[in-house]
Amino acid sequence: MTRTDLVLTPTHLRFATRRFPCAIGRGGIREDKREGDGATPRGVHRVVGMLYRADRITAPNDWAIPIGPGDLWSDDPGDCAYNHMVRAPHAHSHERLRRADPLYDLVILTDWNWPDAQPGRGSAIFLHQWRKARHPTEGCIAFRRDHLRWIAARLIPGTRLIVR
Give the model confidence (pLDDT) of 118-146 as tens digits: 999 999 999 999 999 999 999 999 999 99
Please say if the pLDDT value at position 59 is more than 90: yes
The torsion angles phi and psi of 32, rounded to 5 degrees, stand at -105, 60
| Range 80-109 average pLDDT | 97
- 106 neighbors 58 (Cβ within 8 angstroms): no
Percent helix, strand and coil across the chain, each to the nearest 5: 5, 35, 60
Q: Are 53 and 105 in contact (CB under 8 A)?
A: yes
Amino acid at 137: T
| CB 64, CB 50: distance < 8 Å | yes
Residue 11 lies in a domain: yes
Mean pLDDT of 64-75: 97
Q: How many domains does the chain have?
A: 1
Q: How far is CA 159 from the centre of its chain?
A: 13
Answering whether pTM is above 0.75, one says yes
- As a whole number of angstroms, the distance between CA 43 and CA 25 comes to 14
Percent of the chain whose pLDDT exceeds 70: 100
* Domain enclosing residue 54, as ranges: 6-163
1 located within any domain: no
The whole-chain average pLDDT of the chain stands at 97
- Taking the C-alpha atoms of residue 90 and residue 2, their distance in angstroms, rounded to an integer, is 40
How far apart are alpha carbons 113 and 124 in whole angstroms? 8
Segment 50-67 mean pLDDT: 98
